[in-house]
Amino acid sequence: MDGDGARAAGAGRYAPSPSGDLHLGNLRTALLAWMFARSSGRRFLMRIEDLDRARDAGSAERQLADLAALGLDWDGPPVRQTERSAAHEAAIARLADAGLVYECSCTRRDILAAPSAPHAPPGAYPGTCRDLDPAARAAARDRIAPRLPALRLRVPEGTRAPAFTDRVLGAQHGDIDDLVLRRGDGTVAYNLAVVVDDAAMGVDQVVRGDDLAPSTPRQILLQRLLGLPSPPDVEYAHVPLVLGPEGARLAKRDGAVTLAELRERGIGPVAVLGRLAASLGLASPGEPVTPARLLERFDPDALPREPWTWTDPAVERPGPATS
C-alpha cells in the first residue's frame, strides 16, 4: 500500500473466541494488534469468533470489558461471526460452482490411519474422498449416517503452497491440503470464516499468535481462489506466545492468569498493562504506562522474537536449597 491515506483506509483487528476469560497471552496479543493498527493509521476492529457453539462459554462481554480495562479501544461495534453465516455459505457456494468442493465422510481416525502422500505433513488429508464415484460417495455417506459429510476444498492440481513475508517471522512458507470448509455438524471452518470476514471488514493487517502461522498459507490460497485481497495487500504479523513456568503454553494451571484472578491477588489492570509492556521492551519493570504512551514507543522491528514466560508472583516457588 502506498502512503498514509491508503493505510488509513485499512484495518487491523482482534478476534477472540468466547471460550473463556482472556489470559495474559491473549491480552498481550490484543495489545500488540492494537499498537500495530494504531501506529499505522489503521482502524482497529473487534470480532467475536463464536462459530463453534460447543466451545462458547458466553464470555464475550467479559473479554471486551477486560480489553477496555487495559485502555484498549476499537472502532465500531464488535462483529459476531455467527451473524455472518450467509456470507460464509455464499463463499462455499462460489467454490462449489468452480468445482472446488467435495463431500468427505472421513473421521479423524480414518485420516490418521490412511497412508499419507510422500512428503505430506503429519495429519494432512490424504485425499480419500476426493475422487470417489457417485456410488462410493453415497455408500460413504450412508456409513456415517445420521452424521453428515464435511465439505472439503479441492485444491487445484499443481497448486503450490503460497509463501508470504511475515512482519515478525520474516519469510514463511507452509503446506496446504484439501482443508475442511464446513464440518459435518454444519459449523463453518475457521480458515474459511476468517478469510471471508476479514475481507468483508476491510482488514488488511492480521496480528495474532505465532501458533497460527502454519494456517496462513491455507488462508492465502482461499483468498486467491475467492478473489479476495491477499499478500502483499494483506500484512501478517505472528507474535510470540506467553508460556507458563514449565515452558508450555499459558494455562489456568499456571496460577493467576486472567484479569479477574490477578485483581484478587491485588494486581490491577494498570499493573498488568505495565507487565505486558515490560515483556515487550516498552517499559521498565514497575513503570506505570498507558496505551497512548506505549504507542509512542512502539517499533514493530524491535519486538522480541521469543516467547515470554509468565510466573505468577503470588505463588511461592521453592528456590535452590542452601546450607
Binding-site annotation: residue ranges for L-glutamate: 13-17, 49, 190, 208
39: helix, strand or coil: helix
Binding site for Zn(2+): residue ranges?
A: 104, 106, 125, 129
23: exposed, middle or buried (Cβ count in 10 Å: 0-12, 13-18, 19+): buried
Neighbouring-strand partners of residue 153 = 101
- For 7, phi then psi, to 5°, come to -70, -40
Q: Point out the annotated binding site.
A: 13-17, 49, 104, 106, 125, 129, 190, 208, 252
Q: Which residues are annotated as a binding site for ATP?
A: 252
CA–CA separation, 43 and 40 (whole Å): 9
The dihedral sign for the CA sequence 70, 75, 76, 80: negative
CA dihedral 104, 109, 112, 113 (to 10 degrees): -100
Q: How far is CA 2 from the centre of its chain?
A: 27
- 207/168 Cα distance (integer angstroms): 10
Rounded distance between C-alpha atoms, residue 86 and residue 305, angstroms: 39
Q: Would the CA dihedral through 54, 58, 60, 65 be positive or negative? A: negative
Return d(Cα 206, Cα 237) in angstroms, integer. Answer: 6
Reading the block at residue 239, the C-alpha cell is 507474535
CB 297 within 8 A of CB 164: no
Closest by alpha carbon to 153, among 83, 91, 82?
91
Calpha distance 275→259 (Å, rounded): 12
Q: 176 near 155, Cβ under 8 Å?
A: yes
Round the CA-based radius of gyration of the chain to a whole number and report it: 22
